[in-house]
Amino acid sequence: SQKIEQNSEALNIQEGKTATLTCNYTNYSPAYLQWYRQDPGRGPVFLLLIRENEKEKRKERLKVTFDTTLKQSLFHITASQPADSATYLCALDGATNKLIFGTGTLLAVQP
Amino acid sequence: EAEVAQSPRYKITEKSQAVAFWCDPISGHATLYWYRQILGQGPELLVQFQDESVVDDSQLPKDRFSAERLKGVDSTLKIQPAELGDSAMYLCASSPRLAGSTDTQYFGPGTRLTVL
């Protein structure tokens, strides 16, 4: 069956450290993968998109990698801040050109 | 900065009642999406419009849910009758171009529905 799996438990890290979030998928062949941030009671906000032919994409303190062999994307936040605390969702294009979202990982950055 | 508007932000209703949610996408965005997000899960697509036409409604429970985008601009999602299991956040999103492109989706703030 098709699955998108993200860290099910909350990730707690200290301010200033690098947060690494994982997105694994099964039985999909996505052309691209997106990462969104969602704060409580709000809609998701787009962060980064990475295509299947790209290994890495960066934006300020954010970095995303995409390994189509491992069927995995890693999302890194360097020099994390308490304001980075949120739920982070990965999403990939499903077979019918629609976004399929993972369950999200809750990140808590402690001051 | 342009935003997707949704109303109401919160809705409490009793089961078997009818509810309706409204979405106004970013001006000029051709594609509009309705998602349902259950607490602790990711958004799940219910219906996708390209202008006024439905592109994908394969996950829409059509016995009780309906959606329309009559003039290809704003949209309404209706549930009748509401069931306890419909309690969730209903998110609207829009994107500029054709369905299936890699365009970013812009989400509204959502409508939190509670069915009692």
- pLDDT per position in chain B (116 positions), as tens? 789 999 999 999 999 999 999 999 999 999 999 999 999 999 999 999 999 999 999 999 999 999 999 888 999 999 999 999 999 999 999 998 765 566 789 999 999 999 99
What string of DSSP letters covers B53-67?
EEEE-TTS-TTTEEE
Contact between residue B23 and residue B77 where contact means Cβ atoms under 8 Å apart? yes
pLDDT confidence band for A95 (50 / 70 / 90):
low
Q: Does B28 touch chain A if contact means CB atoms closer than 8 Å?
A: no
A48: exposed, middle or buried (Cβ count in 10 Å: 0-12, 13-18, 19+): middle
- Tokens representing B10 are 């919160």
Contact between residue A72 and residue A22 where contact means Cβ atoms under 8 Å apart? yes
> Which is higher by pLDDT, A93 or A17?
A17
Q: Is the Cβ pair B102, A32 closer than 8 Å?
A: yes
The per-residue pLDDT for B100 is 58
Report how far residue A104's alpha carbon sits from residue A39's, in angstroms, rounded to the nearest whole number: 11
The alpha-carbon gap from B17 to the nearest alpha carbon of chain A, in Å, equals 24
Closest CA to A101 of B51, B8, B21, B105: B105
